[in-house]
Structures are given as structure tokens and as C-alpha cells.
Amino acid sequence: MAAIDVRASGIALPILACFGGGSLYGWSGYLPAVQAAYGLSYASVSMVFSLAIASFTLGVLFGPAVIARLPGEVRLAALAAAALVCLLVASLSPTFPLFVAAYGAGFGAISGAIYNHALSEASKKLRATLFVPVTVAAFGLGGALFGPLANWLGAGGWGLWSTAPAALCLAVTAALSFAIRPAHHRDRAEGGEPSAGLSFPERNGVAMWAIFACGSLSGLVVLGFSAQILSTSATPALAGLAIFLAAAGNTLGRLAAAPMARLLAPASAVAMALAITGAAVACLIFAEGHGAAVAFLFLAAFGYGNLASNMPLLVKARLGVAGFSAAFGWVFTGWGVAGLAGPWGAGYILDVTGGFRLVLVACLAASLIGLLLSLRLR
């Protein structure tokens, strides 16, 4: 029984770590507390999220090489503990630059390393088409829960400590991982040792990079500014609902990739996800009333979440299990580029124009470009 428990923890604990790291996706709920703590503009505070996404990308890309120096059974515990320390330092930061370093650079990078580590473990399973979407969904579910919690705690006077629930999740993950030390086993669907890396550019790799970059721009803006897209007239309760439904749509979209994998080829599933996001963003541009806007936010986030789950499956299908971490790391830099430009650009436009219409038009164009590229993918 003990052996079974340890074996099960090899996928359960990485999923739990993704759940805690996914609080990054609840940034829009944490944003008001950060803005109030340092008295900054939307553009300045949004820069933290952009940096966190860029750092997350670097964590996905280089995390495997860094943690490879550690024994396999303690890697997850070390990652969870490092993420916890970053959140604690951010909560205690007396100055904005220290907060940026701890949350934007530190927590973002460690979350990325956790994400890649968990996906790598899931991709080795015989039921990878189930475990990969569930792992990706756990990250989105973290935003669905911890974002509204941060918004609620911030309104209650918790300030920068609004991330306490996420910190608790990571503390539990680190403690369990140190205690159980799950085996770093290999039950791959395919044999072979992981390759050291993948040479890019390569036609499929470049196409997948561009598709992920274009598709991610819309989703990250929707998730990062779900409350602000409703307009400043939205009540705190409605803003919290928007944050929750956007994060919930993101999570459900990720989970939906598992049954979709049985019906559609990965490239077709990616195209469908981009079509859903594009249609929802187009409707957001002309939506009247908060009710309709919230519904379209949910659909846009659903499409993005579905894209996020299907991209690892597409990489695995096109490039194989061997070297998945390295291959997905390079493709994932497209997400990082979109994340660096999207949230900061959206915050700047919000400061200048006071509205999101121009941002949504740009998101729609990006979704359409990604859709066209996915339809041409061979």
C-alpha cells in the first residue's frame, strides 16, 4: 500500500504544486492590493504581471536544467519551498522594487519551473492525454480560487498578505513532498531517454511558437484584467464574479482538452480553441451591459484554457515524448512574449484611454492570426 501511495504522489503532488503556482493567474484579484500598497498607476502595477510572465517563461525554459542538479525525489519539494519563500518576501516587501523582484521575478520563475516539471511527469504517463490536461487545469484552478480570495482578502484589509492561501498551499506541498519523497519513476508511453534539447528554428516548432504567442495574448489580457474590462463602474462583487468566472472558464477549458483529445487531432483542437477565443473577444468589443460582458469573458478564458492544455499535447504529438521538456520550453517562450507585451500594453492603454476597446481589437487580431496559422499546420 505504501508503494502505491508513493507512486500516486508522483503525479498528485506536482498537480497540487501547479494549483499553488496557478495563483499567478489570479493576478487581477491581487492587483488592487498591490496598487493600494504602493500608490502606483495601472501601467506600473501591470508591469509586475508582465515580468512575472516573462520570468515564468524562463522558468519553463531553463528550470529543467537547474533542478536536474538535485536528486529526483526532492526536486518538487525544493521548488514548492522556493515559491513559498518568494511569496513571503513579496508580502513583507516595504518597497515596490523588492516586491517586483520577489513576486515578478522570483515567484514567476519558480512557478514556471513547477509547471514544466509537473507537465514533464504527466507526459511520461501511459494516460498522458488525461494527466496533461488535468495538470494544466490545476494551474488554472489556482487562479480561479486564489484570485477571488486575494480580491476578497484585499478588500478586508489584508493588503499584500492577500496571497496567504496560495502560500499555505505551497507550504503543504513542500512539507508533503519532503515527507513522502515521491519516486522519480518513468512509466512513459514511449521508450527512450530524454534528449538534451531541441534545435530551433524548425518548421513545426516555429509554427507552434507563433500559434501559442498569438493565442496567449488574448487569454492573458482577459485573465489579467477581467475585472477592469467590465469598466470602473463595476461593483466589487461583480468584479470578483468576473475574476472567478474568467478563471473558472480557463480551468474548464483546460479540463475539456481531455475528452477533446479523443475526438480531434491536437492541431484541430488548437484551431477550435482559437476560434472560441476570437469569437468571444469579438463579442466583448460590442457587448452592452455587465452580464453579457461577464459571459463573454468566461468564453474567452475557456478558449484560452483549452489552447493551454492542447499545446503540450500538440508538442508531444509532433515532436515526441523524448525531450518533451526542452521542446515545450522553447515553444512556451511564445507564451512569454505575449505575456510580456500583452498585460503591460493593456495597462498602458487603460491609463491613456480609460477603456479596453482598442486592447480587445488587438486581441481579436492576434487570435485570428493564430487561427490561420493553426489551420495551415501540417
Q: Is 1 exposed, middle or buried (0-12, 13-18, 19+ CB in 10 A)?
A: exposed
Q: Is 295 exposed, middle or buried (0-12, 13-18, 19+ CB in 10 A)?
A: middle
Cell of 72: 529526483
Cα dist from 98 to 105, 166, 374, whole Å:
10, 20, 41
Neighbours of 8 (CB within 10 A): 12
Cell of 35: 496598487
The span from the CA of 371 to the CA of 150, in Å, is 34
* DSSP string computed for 217-285: HHHHHHHHSHHHHT-TTS-HHHHHHHHHHHHHHHHHHHHHHHHHHHHS-HHHHHHHHHHHHHHHHHHHH
Under 8 Å between Cβ of 77 and 174: yes
Which CATH number do you get for residue 317?
1.20.1250.20
Say which residues have a Cβ less than 8 Å from residue 266's Cβ, sequence separation at least 6: 310, 313, 314, 317, 318
For residue 158, which phi and psi values (nearest 5 degrees)?
-75, -20
Neighbours of 237 (CB within 10 A): 10
- At 51 the pLDDT is 87
Geometric angle at alpha carbon 213, from 210 and 218, rounded to 5°: 135
Cell of 374: 493553426
The span from the CA of 118 to the CA of 306, in Å, is 18
Q: What is the reported pTM? A: 0.73
Say which residues have a Cβ less than 8 Å from residue 291's Cβ, sequence separation at least 6: none
Domain count, the chain: 1
For residue 69, which phi and psi values (nearest 5 degrees)?
-75, -15
- pLDDT of the chain, 378 residues: tens digit per residue: 344 344 555 678 899 999 999 999 788 889 889 999 998 887 788 788 888 888 998 898 888 888 888 887 788 999 999 999 999 999 999 999 999 999 999 999 999 999 988 888 887 776 777 788 888 888 878 887 898 899 889 989 999 999 999 999 999 999 998 888 655 544 444 444 444 444 454 667 788 999 999 999 988 888 778 777 776 556 667 777 887 788 788 888 988 888 887 888 888 999 999 999 999 999 988 887 777 888 899 999 999 999 988 998 888 887 776 667 777 888 888 888 887 788 778 878 878 887 778 889 989 999 999 999 998 875
Q: What is the domain extent for residue 105? A: 2-376
Q: Which amino acid, residue 332?
A: F
Helix (H) or strand (E) holding 127: none
- At 271 the pLDDT is 94
